[in-house]
Amino acid sequence: MFALLGVVLVAGAPCVLPAAAGGTKLKPPQNVEVDIIDDTFTLRWARSREPAGNVTVSADYRMPRIVDNWTKLPGCQHVTSATCDFSSLKMHVYEEIKLRIRAEEGNSTSPWRELDTFIPFQQARIGPPKVHLEAEDKAIAINISPPGAKDSVMWQQENPQYSVIIWRNASGAQTWNETHHSRFPRIKIHKLVPETTYCVRVKARLLLHWNPAEFSPVHCVSTTVENELPAPENIQVILENDTYVLKWDYTHDNVTFEAQWLKSYLKRMPGSQSEKWAQVQGCERAPVARCAPPQDLFRKGIYFRVRASRGSSSSPWSQEEKFDAGRQVVIPPLIVALKPLSSRSLQVSIGFQDQTELQHSLTYEVRFWENASNAERKTFVEQRADFPVLSLKPRTVYCADAQALLEDGPRSQRSRPSNTACAATEAGGAPGALLVAGVAVMLVLCAALALGKLVHYVFFPAGKPPATIEEYFPEEPTKNLLLSTSVEQTEECFIVENVDAVSAKEVNHLDEDHRTYTSQASQDSGHYSIEDESGESGESGGSQAGEELGQRGAGAHSAGGRFA
Amino acid sequence: MNTQPDVIRKCVWPACLMGLFITGTLSLGCDLLHIHLRRVTWQNVKLLTNMSKSFPLECLRENKAFQLPREVLAYSQPLLHRDIKGAFYEMSMLAFNIFAQSTFQSTREEKHLEQIQTGLDQQLQYLEQCLKEEKGKKDKEEMEEDEKRHSGARTPQPSNLDLRRYFHRISSFLKDKQYSHCAWKIVQVEIRRCFYYFQTLIELLRRK
């Protein structure tokens, strides 16, 4: 911060010194303005308090998008007066342009003063248009040429609209003036008084831009003496039995009429294009105040005008009447929907495909019928777009379609029939039957689920077997014993051979005993599964021991058998 | 020579984006405008299509990209219904002025051109009426007041300046090529594509 101050002071110091030495540091020009009117570009500034000397002013320009360096502004170099004109610069009127200006005296120059960036098209004022007047007895035709030169760049692409102020140039109390707004360069003001001087001022403007405009100078003209034959009035195009016919009013007799037509887009074009009126076939010399031109003439967008003639004299042209076939009100296509409200009513909804809300009020004709053969069709005429239809039969299908009519238009103007929509009224029973059924289903499902869980818990417990069993079944401790179908576990049997050898001798003696023992043994251990058939005497001792062992083993077996 | 004209799209980008940022409510006036406008615009697109069907291949050489500056895509201020109509009006007017400079090549083309100009004139009429209705029934005094008020803050929508630049490029192109047959053909195709995309804008108007 202090460094900055320091820099400023240092910078200021050399400026102070020359002042002290007697010269004045040049300041750039003040109150600089850019004035643009049509294609004339002027730079204005205030002359600084005048020390004697030749102070000149120079300016540069820069167009950020096109010419990015500061370039000398033509027509504004070393200018002594307080304005300079740089219209000779080839201007890009829609592009931004930046100007800077400084004063010079001898070898010293002031610092540049930069002006704000601007776009010429937005800054420009609309100059006065050129006006040409032609007077008739009760009308004045005004031909307006657009502002700017012929090769004007600024308004080259524009279609200006014009405001015309006309007043009566009469002294005295009778002042009268009117303002007309015209979209076209040619405007005719009717219902004027013959032999009067009228004065006119015209101003151009752009429709969507707020450029200020200047009025043209005042132009005056006098209307002529009243014509022998007045112009026809009230020209209309009417539809007679599907044929378009041109009709007008005329007060005098013994005249023939001549009709002309013009394509309406020609009115928008400046210059002489607008004079391309063409004869209407069948109306070149009409004896009555109507004629029937060929129908293909009646396309959209044409103007008509009519005049009367008798002998060599003719009336002025009538007011131009526009005919636009496309201007009839178009009712967009309708969409009809039916919704069941209850068991005895349906709701009819009429909408448009386009979702627009029409300014014109419509009347709807709705045809309604039961979807059965020989059903009679009822027609409702409604202004509402949503309404219920009552007193219907339950559980029946009904259908409807609709047409729209313009309320305050020709009754013949109706839309095309809409789609046919059908819907059924609801059943007569409790409307909640479905709901109850649904709830019941839900309950049953819940019950089934609970039952399933119970069954699962009771019959298929997921418990752990006791530790002792685990000794025998170490591999699968969590196995479900009831359901297991694995191979029976077998235990090794230990048979002592010595006992067998000894007992082989005694067997013969003890046969009877053995037999009884065996029988006893066999009675005792009826569980023997393997050694039942091995009750031989030779192995009585052994068998005894074996029995014992066998018993144990068998016991174990049986135990195993029992539990296997 | 740029043989890839990707302009058309860019012509309508400002229009499309404006449509995307609609925040205004449906105007009470010009209710039927959308219906008429849509019909008329479609007719113009079809007319231009018919005209440009016979595009001579040798004209492809002279094809030019009439690009719109990309800054337009960043324009994100919420736009009113009226602004869209305004842009559409200006587009129609600028296109009309281009066609007003035409010189007829053949009777068939002359007929087509007349039809286009009639269609454009219709579009302009509807829009003028609509914009006038939306302005309200202002007196002359009120309008002048507005002018004074607005003279300090002149801010037309930037997109309208872009439209003007775009059509200025087309106009300069025609002038440089001395209104040759090929130049006209190229311009016809260009404006047709521009119309087509403005049609999408009308759809957005319709849905509002």
Question: Which tens digits make up the pLDDT trace of A405-437?
Answer: 765 444 455 677 788 889 888 876 555 667 778
> In which residue are the tokens 């009035």 written?
A233
What average pLDDT score do residues B132-145 get?
58
Higher pLDDT, A554 or A122: A122
Rounded Cα distance, A103 and A109, in Å = 6
Q: In chain A, what percentage of residues exceed pLDDT 70?
A: 69
What average pLDDT score do residues A201-223 get?
91
pLDDT digits (tens, 9 = 90+) for B86-126: 778 888 899 999 988 876 667 777 888 888 888 888 888 88
Chain B residues close to A211, C-beta within 8 Å: 154
pTM > 0.80: no
Instruction: Tell me whether residue A450 is in a domain.
Output: no
Rounded Cα distance, A550 and A493, in Å = 7
A558 in contact with B, Cβ within 8 Å:
no
| Tally of residues, chain A | 564
| Alpha-carbon Rg for chain A in angstroms | 58
Give the orientation angle of helix B107-135 with respect to helix B33-51, to 10 degrees: 160
- How many Cα atoms within 13 Å fall on the side-chain side of residue A122? 18
Is A358 in Cβ contact with B34 (below 8 Å)?
no
CB A94 within 8 A of CB A104: no
Rounded Cα distance, A314 and B57, in Å = 55
Question: Does residue A396 share a domain with residue A293?
Answer: no
pLDDT on residue A242: 73
Enumerate residues 504 to 543 of chain A having a beta carbon within 8 A of any beta carbon in chain B. none
Neighbours of B25 (CB within 10 A): 9
pLDDT band at A201 (very low <50, low <70, confident <90, very high): very high
By residue range, what is the domain housing residue A380? 334-424
Instruction: List CB contacts of A18: < 8 A, sequence separation 6 or more.
Output: A25
Question: Does residue A174 share a domain with residue A115?
Answer: no
CB A408 within 8 A of CB A360: yes
Is B120 in Cβ contact with A209 (below 8 Å)?
no
Closest CA to B86 of B156, B181, B189, B1: B156
pLDDT of A523 strictly over 70: no
Instruction: Tell me whether residue A432 is in a domain.
Output: no
B32 vs A183, A210, A330: nearest CB:
A330
Chain A residues close to B156, C-beta within 8 Å: 122, 208-210
B165 in contact with A, Cβ within 8 Å:
yes
Neighbours of A431 (CB within 10 A): 11
pLDDT digits (tens, 9 = 90+) for A499-521: 334 444 444 444 444 444 444 44
Kindly state the tokens that stand for B172: 């300069």
A329 in contact with B, Cβ within 8 Å:
yes
Is A355 in Cβ contact with B171 (below 8 Å)?
no
Closest alpha carbon within chain B to A329: B32
pLDDT on residue A118: 92
Angle subtended at Cα A235 by Cα B31 and Cα B140, rounded to the nearest 5 degrees: 50
Q: What is A90-112 written as a DSSP string?
A: ---TTS-BEEEEEEEETTEEPPP
A413 in contact with B, Cβ within 8 Å:
no
Instruction: Tell me whether residue A445 is in a domain.
Output: no
Rounded Cα distance, A222 and A197, in Å = 4
Question: Does residue A553 share a domain with residue A471?
Answer: yes
B93 vs A159, A299, A330: nearest CB:
A159
Kindly state the tokens that stand for A206: 């752009």
pLDDT on residue A445: 93
Q: Say whether A261 sits in a helix, a strand or coil.
A: strand
Q: Domain residue spans in chain B?
A: 33-54+77-134+168-208
pLDDT band at A71 (very low <50, low <70, confident <90, very high): very high
Question: Does residue A159 share a domain with residue A247?
Answer: no
Question: Does residue A272 share a domain with residue A238?
Answer: yes
CB A17 within 8 A of CB A65: no
What average pLDDT score do residues A475-498 get?
46
Helices and strands (DSSP H and E) totals, chain A: 7, 30
Instruction: List CB contacts of B132: < 8 A, sequence separation 6 or more.
Output: none
pLDDT digits (tens, 9 = 90+) for A254-286: 899 999 999 888 888 876 656 789 998 888 888
Q: What fold is seen in the domain B33-54+77-134+168-208?
A: Growth Hormone; Chain: A; (1.20.1250)
Cα distances (angstroms) measured from residue A187 to each of A181, A223, B118: 9, 16, 20
What average pLDDT score do residues A347-352 get?
87
Question: Does residue A304 share a domain with residue A241?
Answer: yes
Question: Does residue A137 share a domain with residue A118?
Answer: no
Instruction: List CB contacts of A28: < 8 A, sequence separation 6 or more.
Output: A101, A102, A103, A110, A111, A112, A113
Rounded Cα distance, A59 and A115, in Å = 11
Is B31 in Cβ contact with A357 (below 8 Å)?
yes
B31 in contact with A, Cβ within 8 Å:
yes
B35 in contact with A, Cβ within 8 Å:
yes
Chain B residues close to A212, C-beta within 8 Å: 147-148, 151
What average pLDDT score do residues A290-294 get?
88
Rounded Cα distance, A358 and B40, in Å = 19
Chain A residues close to B161, C-beta within 8 Å: 94, 119, 121-122
Domain edge (last residue) among A106, A123, A140: A123
Instruction: Tell me whether residue A538 is in a domain.
Output: no
Question: Does residue A396 share a domain with residue A369?
Answer: yes
CB A364 within 8 A of CB A404: yes
CB B126 within 8 A of CB B157: no
Instruction: Tell me whether residue A76 is in a domain.
Output: yes
Instruction: Tell me whether residue A373 is in a domain.
Output: yes
Q: In a mutagenesis test of the A interface, which of B35, B41, B207 is the best target, namely the one with the most A β-carbons within 10 Å?
A: B35
A263 in contact with B, Cβ within 8 Å:
yes
Kindly state the tokens that stand for B46: 């079809």
Mean pLDDT value across chain A? 76
Beta strands in A186-333 (DSSP E): 186-189, 197-205, 219-222, 233-240, 243-249, 256-263, 278-279, 290-291, 302-310, 313-314, 321-323
Beta strands in A192-277 (DSSP E): 197-205, 219-222, 233-240, 243-249, 256-263
pLDDT band at A344 (very low <50, low <70, confident <90, very high): confident
A197-201, A514-518, B138-142: which has the minimum mean pLDDT?
A514-518
Rounded Cα distance, B191 and B99, in Å = 10
Highest mean pLDDT among A88-102, A514-528, B125-139, B157-171: A88-102
pLDDT on residue A40: 93
Higher pLDDT, A298 or A34: A34
| Tally of residues, chain B | 208
The count of structural domains within chain A is 5
Instruction: Tell me whether residue A238 is in a domain.
Output: yes
Rounded Cα distance, A46 and B16, in Å = 47
Rounded Cα distance, A139 and A316, in Å = 9
Strand order in the sheet with A130-135: A130-135, A140-145, A186-189
Question: Does residue A17 share a domain with residue A118?
Answer: yes
Q: What is the CATH number of the domain that holds A288?
A: 2.60.40.10
A116-130, A469-483, B164-178: which has the minimum mean pLDDT?
A469-483
